[in-house]
């Protein structure tokens, strides 16, 4: 019949209007600044540097190996290695800057880092007035505790912690074995001395 | 005068009281000025309210909350919109016809307000009782077409011109069935005076013209034409943003744009007011016991229903194609309206009940038949023929 389609359409829109007051999925809007959508665990934005313990700078896991700097596709990581008074390289970055305005959030840095020192964050409210003060981020702003990492990505962080502990145990065992071997060498069997 | 009557006539009493301060010579003029000011004030604020209702309602229809930041629940949004419109730069294209470009919004807003003078808003509440009220309403209303064309021509922009050409074609086509639908009422009441027409529908909702077979169909025809006349979706071809940017509004900004916008809403409300007057008993209460509610409340209540319906339809229907638009007007609405006039005549002559079955059968046949025709006229299935492409 003529006009039934119109009536059906009117019914549908009326259901939307009434439903928007009662059902959540007929009004999915989130009032953004007041409330936010909870992000998924593997949601990622920009990288950050993980540190262990309570103090950021000494605790940084980064050894300044510069692998991430070389791998970063848009070349937005800038690292200078720390040197001690004898001008000998120290396993610590003196400068570690990431230009967030260039970073494309690919996560390659986090993937290639052999020391699990750089991970992907989930912050996104970074709007600033000045590119150089706001988006060129130095190591002090990049450093975030392992605790924070556990908060934003528990599964991944636990996995990383397990792996690091395993590595450490192996390293210790290897060291022990080595020490034992060395000790064995240093102290020859008494029978041989006689 | 009882209290109920006093409230009913409050606007009129207020006007008389204000006029009494002036010397006798000036009194008629002051009275006129006051009614004009009241109409502008009331309907301009209704315009603000209905823009808010529209944005909120469309939002809900599209599963979003609509404006909700300015004031509680976004109530002050119209105010913010108004301020924005006022402080925007007024841009006039270099090659535009400056005079026409400037005059068009004014020439549009004046008739849009003028038509309210013959609408009875309540018992004795009419700015200008006129023997030819209905005729005046349509005559003034028709002049808005001219101003839209002025806007399109004066802008010196092809989109504007195309939009206004479409507007003219559409408005003239739909004017015809609309006036013919109104003629049925004139036939039945043998009066062109809006006050008389409302008074002929006294007694209760069963006396309203909408509850006669010809009245129902005439109301429907009138309503469809009202949608087209006020250039609202689904008949918003003149401003089709996806094809014509904004039609005749393309080159307007700031307050001139606001005037166009206001004229659209004023026109919509005026035409709804006319539909209420002609078919839905004007300011009459639907039941005699409800007469204690002031008559103007009834009018505005019915008006609000119409505005909601306009918004609802806008949120539901997609825009028509130009040929569908013309087919609907000339092949469907016009024959129905003509048949309807005949039936109204039958109704008047046969004094009621015998006309019911005849009207229902004839109208039913006509609607089904013409509906088939309308459907048949569009190419369905098969191979599409592109006459000008390839
Ligand atoms: S973050 Fe990782 S890959 Fe990059 S320099 Fe530090 S340790 Fe090397
Ligand atoms: S996320 Fe990608 S672009 Fe950003 S710093 Fe890491 S490697 Fe570079």
pLDDT in tens, A82-131: 888 888 888 888 899 999 889 999 989 999 998 888 999 888 888 878 88
Phi, psi torsion values for B360, nearest 5 degrees: -60, -45
* Closest chain B residue to A26, measured at CA: B63
Question: How far is it, in rounded angstroms, from Cα A159 to Cα A171?
Answer: 18
**Are the Cβ atoms of A1 and B371 closer than 8 angstroms?**
yes
**Are the Cβ atoms of B316 and A13 closer than 8 angstroms?**
yes
Q: How far is B381 from chain A (nearest CA, A)?
A: 19
Coil, strand, or helix at residue A66?
Answer: coil
SS3 breakdown of chain A: % helix, strand, coil, rounded to 5? 45, 15, 40
The answer to whether the CB of B269 falls within 8 A of the CB of B46 is yes
Per residue in B312-360, pLDDT (tens digit) is 998 888 888 887 888 888 888 898 888 888 888 888 887 667 777 777 8
The answer to whether the CB of B79 falls within 8 A of the CB of B167 is no
Q: Which two tokens stand for residue A179?
A: 């020490």
Instruction: Cite the DSSP H helix spans in B62-143.
Output: 77-87, 98-114, 133-142
Question: How far is it, in rounded angstroms, from Cα B88 to Cα B127?
Answer: 34
Q: Is B64 on the interface with A (CB under 8 A)?
A: yes
Report pLDDT for A192. 52
Q: Which atom of ligand 2 is nearest to the CA of A71?
A: 7
Report pLDDT for A190. 59
Domain ranges of chain B: 96-374
Q: How far, CA to CA in Å, does B96 sit from each of B153, B157, B168, B253, B255?
A: 8, 8, 20, 14, 18
Coil, strand, or helix at residue B74?
Answer: helix
Alpha-carbon radius of gyration of chain A = 27
Q: Is B313 on the interface with A (CB under 8 A)?
A: yes
Where do the DSSP E strands lie in chain B? Answer: none
Question: How far is it, in rounded angstroms, from Cα B109 to Cα B102?
Answer: 12
Q: Does ligand 1 have an atom closer than 6 angstroms to the CB of A146?
A: no
**Are the Cβ atoms of B63 and A6 closer than 8 angstroms?**
no
Report pLDDT for B360. 80
Which helix H or strand E contains A97, and what residues bound it? strand A89-99
**Are the Cβ atoms of A16 and B61 closer than 8 angstroms?**
yes
**A158 contacts: CB under 8 Å, gap ≥ 6:** A150
Q: How far is A37 from chain B (nearest CA, A)?
A: 16
Among A69, A70, A128, A77, CA closest to A102: A77
Report pLDDT for B252. 86
Q: In what order do the strands lie in the sheet with A77-83?
A: A77-83, A89-99, A136-137
Residues of chain A scoring pLDDT < 70:
1, 188-194
List the single residue in B57, B64, B312 with the smallest CB-CB distance to A10: B312
Q: Give me ligand 2 centre to Cα A70, in Å.
A: 10
Q: Give me ligand 2 centre to Cα A77, in Å.
A: 7
Report pLDDT for B188. 84
Q: How far is B345 from chain A (nearest CA, A)?
A: 26
Question: How far is it, in rounded angstroms, from Cα A139 to Cα A56?
Answer: 9
Report pLDDT for B389. 62
**Are the Cβ atoms of A6 and B316 closer than 8 angstroms?**
yes
The answer to whether the CB of B360 falls within 8 A of the CB of B344 is no
Report pLDDT for B91. 84
Q: How far is B24 from chain A (nearest CA, A)?
A: 54
Report pLDDT for A104. 92
Coil, strand, or helix at residue B286?
Answer: coil
Q: Is B367 on the interface with A (CB under 8 A)?
A: yes
**Are the Cβ atoms of A10 and B368 closer than 8 angstroms?**
no
The answer to whether the CB of B269 falls within 8 A of the CB of B50 is yes
Report pLDDT for A75. 92
Report pLDDT for A72. 92
Residues of chain B scoring pLDDT < 50:
none
Q: Give me ligand 2 centre to Cα A75, in Å.
A: 8
Question: How far is it, in rounded angstroms, from Cα B290 to Cα B46?
Answer: 24
Q: Which atom of ligand 2 is nearest to the CA of A107?
A: 1
Q: Does ligand 1 have an atom closer than 6 angstroms to the CB of A66?
A: yes
Q: What is the pTM of this model?
A: 0.77
Phi, psi torsion values for A78, nearest 5 degrees: -135, 120
Question: How far is it, in rounded angstroms, from Cα A79 to Cα A68?
Answer: 9
**B172 contacts: CB under 8 Å, gap ≥ 6:** B145
The answer to whether the CB of B110 falls within 8 A of the CB of B40 is no
Residue with tokens 């070389």: A70
List the single residue in A2, A13, A21 with the smallest CB-CB distance to B61: A13
Q: How far, CA to CA in Å, does B92 sit from each of A14, B89, B147, B257?
A: 41, 10, 17, 12
């Amino acid at each position: 019949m003529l006009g039934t389609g119109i009536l059906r359409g009117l019914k549908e829109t009326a259901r939307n209007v009434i439903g928007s007051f009662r059902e959540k999925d007929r009004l999915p809007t989130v009032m953004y600044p007041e409330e936010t959508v909870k992000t998924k665990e593997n949601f990622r934005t920009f990288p950050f540097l993980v540190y262990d313990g309570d103090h950021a700078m000494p605790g940084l896991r980064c050894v300044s190996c510069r692998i991430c700097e070389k791998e970063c596709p848009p070349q937005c990581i800038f690292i200078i290695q720390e040197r001690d008074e004898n001008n000998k390289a120290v396993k610590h970055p003196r400068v570690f800057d990431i230009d967030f305005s260039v970073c494309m959030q690919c996560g390659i840095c986090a993937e290639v880092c052999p020391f699990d020192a750089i991970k992907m964050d989930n912050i996104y409210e970074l709007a600033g007035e000045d590119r150089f003060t706001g988006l060129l981020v130095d190591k002090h702003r990049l450093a975030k505790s392992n605790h924070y990492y556990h908060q934003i990505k528990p599964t991944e962080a636990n996995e990383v912690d397990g792996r690091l502990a395993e590595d450490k145990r192996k390293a210790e065992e290897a060291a022990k074995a080595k020490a034992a071997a060395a000790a064995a060498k240093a102290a020859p069997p008494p029978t041989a001395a006689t | 005068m009882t209290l109920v009557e006093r409230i009913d006539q409050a606007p009129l009493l207020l006007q008389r009281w204000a006029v009494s301060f002036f010397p006798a010579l000036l009194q008629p003029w002051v009275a006129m000025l006051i009614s004009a000011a009241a109409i502008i004030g009331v309907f301009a604020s209704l315009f603000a309210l209905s823009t808010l209702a529209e944005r909120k309602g469309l939002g809900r229809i599209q599963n979003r909350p609509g404006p909700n930041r300015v004031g509680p629940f976004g109530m002050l949004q119209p105010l913010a919109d108004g301020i924005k419109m006022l402080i925007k730069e007024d841009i006039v294209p270099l090659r535009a016809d400056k005079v026409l470009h400037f005059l068009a919004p004014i020439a549009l807003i004046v008739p849009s307000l003028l038509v309210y003078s013959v609408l009875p808003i309540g018992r004795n509440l009419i700015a200008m009782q006129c023997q030819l009220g209905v005729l005046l309403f349509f005559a003034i209303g028709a002049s808005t077409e001219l101003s839209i064309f002025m806007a399109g021509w004066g802008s010196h922009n092809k989109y504007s011109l195309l939009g206004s050409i479409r507007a003219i074609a559409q408005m003239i086509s739909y004017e015809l069935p609309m006036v013919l639908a109104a003629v049925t009422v004139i036939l039945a009441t043998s009066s062109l005076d809006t006050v008389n027409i409302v008074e002929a529908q006294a007694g209760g909702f069963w006396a309203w013209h909408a509850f006669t077979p010809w009245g129902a169909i005439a109301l429907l025809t009138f309503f469809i034409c009202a949608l087209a006349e006020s250039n609202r979706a689904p008949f918003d071809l003149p401003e089709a943003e996806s094809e014509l940017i904004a039609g005749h509004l393309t080159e307007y900004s700031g307050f001139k744009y606001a005037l166009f916008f206001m004229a659209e809403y004023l026109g919509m409300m005026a035409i709804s007011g006319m539909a209420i007057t002609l078919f839905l008993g004007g300011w009459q209460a639907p039941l005699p016991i409800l007469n204690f509610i002031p008559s103007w409340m009834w009018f505005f209540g019915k008006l609000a229903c119409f505005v909601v319906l306009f918004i609802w339809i806008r949120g539901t229907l997609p825009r028509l194609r130009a040929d569908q638009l013309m087919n609907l007007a000339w092949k469907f609405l016009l024959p129905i309206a003509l048949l309807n006039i005949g039936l109204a005549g039958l109704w008047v002559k046969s004094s009621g009940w015998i006309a019911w079955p005849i009207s229902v059968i004839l109208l039913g046949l006509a609607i089904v038949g013409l509906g088939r025709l309308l459907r048949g006229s569009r190419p369905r299935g098969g191979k599409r023929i592109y006459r000008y492409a390839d």
